[in-house]
Structure 1
Amino acid sequence: MSHDGPHDVVIVGSGAAGLCAALAAAVEGASVLVLEGSDRWGGATAVSAGQVWAPANHHMAEAGVADDPRDALAYLLGRTRGRDPHLAAAFVDAAPRMIRFLEEHAPIRFTPTTLPDSFAEAPGGRTHGRNLEVAPVSLGALGTAEDLFWPPPFFAPVVTNEEITRLRLVTGGTPPPGLIEERTAAGRVALGQGLVVGLLHGCRARGVDLLRGHRVTGLLTTGAPGATAVTGVRMAGGPEFRARRAVVLACGGFEHDRALCARLLDGPYAHPVTPPVGRGDALRLAAGAGAALAHTGECWSWPVTQRPDAAWPDGTPRPELTLAERMLPHVIWVNSAGRRFVNESSHNVALAFAELDPATGHPRNTPAWAVADARYRARYPFVGARPGQPLPPHAVEAATPAELAARTGIDPGTLTETLRRFNEFAARGLDPDHGRGTTHYDRAGGDPTAPHPNLGTVAEPPLCAARILPGSVGTKGGPLTDEQARVLRWNGDPLPGLYAAGNAMAGAIGPGIVSPGATIGSALTWGWIAGTTAARGAGG
């Protein structure tokens, strides 16, 4: 088919939400065009771990793990605030059907992981089975990963999440060279890249047109102000692409637009780990067409560190997710006052960065520091340095707590007392102050070979420290949608011809994170809903 169209459905963005929407619309018989604004496919999905949270999926039943959609809905509603419960119900209903759909229409095979829900102990929570990942997928005729995707963090994207866990790669294990060489030679990828590759193969097999390097800057509309309908998209100084049935916004959030973040986010989350593509396009496009906006103060918050020399290919600084330094023994976090302020191993640990000092109105827990001792350094990686390697330039080392405090600006007296108190309890495997290590989620990310997977004293010199920054893996604010992923006006009516999914929509889950894989699980599910309903012309 011709790229010039018109097409039935135009998708803006090529991450999990956009490609799933494209595949769903194509399966419904629609002619589909995907426009990716950058010169690389997959957006944030392609550099992620690719975990997919899908409660009550059929792989759980196959593995003998019981789940019930009613439990999943109770769990979601118990961990959310300010959301329409109908959206939660729509997600729970659609997620397992989306998983079956992808396995039927793309070369994707999902396998369960052992990851628990973030609050597995809460009513309706589960300790394993709800999170899935793709088995390694062949690149085939798509090309090379280097040409297709943004460069991945941490591990070569040929090992799976379960292999990362089994081989203890986060906690200091050695990557298996034989396995990496074998899968690299075969052109097979896993994690987020594997998910995107499977979706691209599915889209190509269904005749979806795929264009990258086409950033959408405007929507084509008809009708009077306040009663417009969306009929297509346009590029800056470039072509227009008309959509006979609908446009689906799936081009991510606004985490890389500093002005929008400063104006909208309820916290200092200025260090996104996503590729520099989430620049607020969906929010602006939808708002300009008269869409209602919601949850603009929220993001998928996460703690990060920043090497001075780490950057994306375009020069944008590239922070790294903080993993080992929050989950493992012999490390704590303190603020500049020298106090611990959170359960470091909590999945929602970064929400603490939004806490304000009532006396000043400024964030009370930034800057924050991860402080570890020699036992930690001998066993685990610290801000990118494996055991035995020298510390990177953004970390400091000192012989005593007082020296470390002097080098970091932490209050020395309070730091010493904090270490004394923490060590007294950690030696007994306890954390009465913040409950670290008491949940399934905490322990799943710890070291199962240690006396306690998450706790250990921080006492053996030399000590080291690195600054922990408030970051994110995307924002949650965007156009408000209904259960069919139709974008809504401020009066609650659907805006004809416009749909949204993933981080381009107002997040249906929040304000915190309910499980690993919730971001991509939500993106795929709402992408599937959007593509299916858009192709059928619902609300159009």
Structure 2
Amino acid sequence: MMPSEVDVVVVGSGGAGLTAALSAAVAGAEVALFEAAPRWGGATAISGGQVWVPNNHRMSEFGVPESHTDALTYCTTHSPDREPELIEAFLQAAPRMARFLEEHAPLRWSACGIPDSFAEHPGGRSSGRHLEVLPVELAELGSADDLVWPAPYPMVLTNAEIGELDLTGGARLPMDLIERRTSAGETTMGLGLVVGLMRGCTEAGVALHRQCRVQELHRDADRVRGVTVADASGQRHRVSARRAVLLANGGYEWDGELAARLHGGVAPLAVSPPVNRGDALRLAATAGAALARTSEGWFWPVFQVPGETWSDGSPRARLVLAERGRPHTIWVNRAGQRFVNESSHNCALAFSDVDSGTLLPANLPAWVIGDARFRERSPVAGVAPAEPAPDWLVEADSLAELAQRAGIDETGLLATVERFNQLAGTGVDTDFGRGAGPYDHGIGDPSAPHPNLGSIERPPFFAAPIRRGTVGTKGGPLTDVRGQVVAWDGTPIAGLYAAGNAAASVLGPGIIAPGLTLGLALTWGWLAGRAAAGAPPTPAS
């Protein structure tokens, strides 16, 4: 039943929204959460579910020493021109958020042996800062098929298990374990996180409403007072908020026109479900919010496999994973030249480079180039090693023929492969530094002589086109240390809060850790939810 008035309205059911709703309810507020889509969880539900939490209470499982000073050094070094008070607030709150969720939701964290993006830099860590949920039961929530957007793989294995079994590299799935957990109704990764948060919200009394899109904010001279919601039938309802409205309904990667305008003329391909269409950005703008980071995103290299779509018919992109870091592959542009450390976490930023002579993208179109040894061991865009190559995957018995078929400069490609093979033979990529750090090694082939480097010389060769993609955008309203949205003059907008990709990112412009998206989303959801409910600020540790 649609409420007419509550204490706190939360918009969006991803990690940020669910955490915000739970923290507001635990703080004593009556909370209603509205999800525009017919499925819960947004991008969180199909994610790997890794949550970056420096100084978390599970780091001792890896015996990793941690300090607030190191985490602060690491974050500030890699986030130039960001607000230092917001970075400090994140680092203070993140460990408390993790403990809070264990206390108030049926989920338990486990630390992951995943390196920071720049683990070798001052303040970085090679393991321990990442958390993931242990298997969570669906329980009263029912079937995952009716609950969330379908993931590209079964979410019943943990990241630790996937790494130990080398499943990203194409190893055989542990079907017995998958069947046991499926029969028990257990979930992991992003789905497990969403399930745990939803169960926590339900137990805390949060009213969850899906297929209800928030279309307007209501504001008088003093504060934001509520929202207008359109339900599944199109009927509009006014819902008053006695204390606050909290925006956690994602970014704008699925509004092609808006994304193109803000990202340099070409919208990146979205990996997230087709739900984030800029509602939060527009709602905040109507309230007079100061907007920032609108050109930034959580950019990733992706494949656009012909025919792969979401359930609503929208095209579905795939993340480039094994094809980034494992031996016997490189990336080249139309000139046949390498242009980036393919294994780096921020490799997709190179797709934004512009050719000074033509003013066209310098490195698009681009291709993954590899040889038979890669295909024998690893998947390409979901095509398993034993499967025949589809039409969109170009194959040839020589590199010259491959270049001709793919439309790559032949002379450039031959010279690039010759150069790379020389570097691979030495075990050191002096051109781009591939394989030089812990993050690179972590996404490589642990059984290979070098986890990231291997020559390209055994036919048949292949070329797979790659594109600039994103798992979400980073632009939105600026907030203060409690998640309250601020106006252009720097004053807080009473009654309006934001978290997750609905807010301007606190860290960036690049990615400094796997799981940073969720680390920020859950932490600011916790902070903003408490503040929206009227809870006192958390004291600094």
User: What secondary structure, in the 3-state scheme, does the structure 1 residue paired with 2:505 have?
Assistant: coil
What is the match of residue 384 of structure 1?
382
Unaligned runs of 5+ in 1: none
Cα distance in 2 between the residues matched to 1:323 and 1:382 = 9
Question: 5 Å matches for 1:13-24?
Answer: 13-24=12-23
**TM-score normalized by the length of structure 2:** 0.97
Q: What residue in structure 2 maps to residue 129 of structure 1?
A: 128
Change in 2 beyond 3 A, CA 1:459/1:65: same
Partner SS, residue 433 of structure 2: coil
Task: Give the whole-Å Cα distance in 2 for the aligned partners of 1:380 and 1:458.
Answer: 14
User: Match for residue 99 of structure 1?
Assistant: 98
Equivalent in the alignment of 1:375: 373
Q: Distance in 1 between matches of 2:355 and 2:264?
A: 14
CA 1:509 to 1:207, structure 2 compared with 1: closer, same or farther past 3 Å?
Answer: same
1:355-504 alignment, distance < 5 Å: 355-504=353-502
Cα distance in 1 between the residues matched to 2:451 and 2:33: 45
Answer yes or no: is the 8 Å Cα contact 1:219–1:285 preserved in 2: yes
Shift in Å at residue 426 of structure 1? 0.5
Do the aligned residues in 1 keep the contact of 2:48 with 2:189 (CA within 8 Å)?
A: yes
Q: CA deviation at 1:119?
A: 0.2
Contact 2:27 2:535 in 1 (8 A): no
**How far off is 1:387 after superposition?**
1.1
**Quick one: which of 223, 226, 237 aligns to 1:232?**
226
Match of 2:314 in 1: 316
**1:461 CA displacement:** 0.8
Q: Distance in 1 between matches of 2:132 and 2:535?
A: 31
Deviation at residue 72 of structure 1 after TM alignment: 0.5
Residue deviations 1:25-48 (CA, integer Å, cap 9, x gap): 000000000000001000000000
Q: 2:274 aligns with which of 263, 273, 276?
A: 276
Q: d(CA) in 2 for partners of 1:7 and 1:73? A: 38
* AA of the residue aligned to 1:262: A
Structure 1: distance between partners of 2:215 and 2:406: 44
Q: 1:417 to 1:63 in 2, by over 3 A?
A: closer
Asked if the contact 2:138–2:187 (Cα under 8 Å) also holds between the matched residues in 1, the reply is yes
Change (3 A) 1:23 1:190: same
Deviation larger for 2-11 or 72-81: 2-11
Deviates more, 1:368-377 or 1:236-245: 236-245
Work out the CA distance in 1 between the residues paired with 2:535 and 2:430: 55
Read off the aligned partner of 1:181 and give its amino acid letter: E
Distance 2:171 2:239 in 1: 49
Q: Deviations over 1:150-175 (max 9, x none)?
A: 0001x200001011000110112111
Q: Residues 388 and 488 from structure 1, CA distance in 2 versus in 1: closer, same or farther, beyond 3 angstroms? A: same
Contact 1:3-1:33 within 8 A present in 2 as well: no
CA distance in 1, matches of 2:393, 2:304: 10
The aligned runs of 1:39-438 (5 Å cut-off) are 39-61=38-60, 63-153=62-152, 155-223=153-221, 228-236=222-230, 237-266=235-264, 268-438=266-436
- SS of 1:473's partner is strand
Note the C-alpha offset of 1:65.
1.7
SS at match of 2:236: coil
For 1:230 and 1:500, how far apart are their aligned partners in 2? 13
Structure 1 residues 378-400: Cα deviation after superposition (integer angstroms, max 9, x where no partner): 11111211112111332110111
Matched residue count: 533
In 1: Cα distance, 2:367 partner to 2:267 partner: 16
Percent identical pairs in the alignment equals 56
RMSD of aligned Cα (Å): 1.2
The amino acid that maps onto 2:25 is: A
Segments of structure 2 that go 5 or more residues without pairing to the other structure are none
Q: Which stretch shifts more, 315-324 or 258-267?
A: 258-267
Q: Separation in 2 of the partners of 1:514 and 1:391?
A: 35
- Is 1:267–1:354's contact at 8 Å kept on the other side of the alignment? no
Inter-partner Cα distance in structure 1 for 2:391 and 2:37: 31
The amino acid across from 2:224 in the alignment is V
Cα deviation, residue 311, structure 1 = 0.4
CA–CA separation in structure 2 for the residues paired with 1:378 and 1:61: 38
- Report how far residue 509 of structure 1 moved: 1.1
Matched to 1:82, the amino acid is D
Deviations 1:392-449 (A, max 9, x none): 3321101111111111111000100000000011122121100100000000111110
Q: Bigger shift: 44-53 or 59-68?
A: 59-68
Listed one character per residue, the Cα deviations across residues 193-245 of structure 1 (whole Å, up to 9, x for unaligned) are: 0000000010000100000000111101112xxxx511111124511111100
- Once residues 4 and 65 of structure 2 are traced to their aligned partners in structure 1, the CA distance between those partners, rounded to angstroms, is 47
Instruction: Please report the TM-score for the alignment, with normalisation by the length of structure 1.
Output: 0.97
**Which moves more between the two structures, 3-12 or 464-473?**
3-12
Rounded Cα–Cα distance in structure 1 between residues aligned with 2:272 and 2:103: 30
**Tell me, what secondary structure is at the counterpart of 2:58?**
helix
1:58 alignment partner, SS class: coil
Alignment partners' CA distance in 2, 1:116 and 1:323: 16
Instruction: Give the Cα separation in 1 of the matches to 2:292 and 2:81.
Output: 10
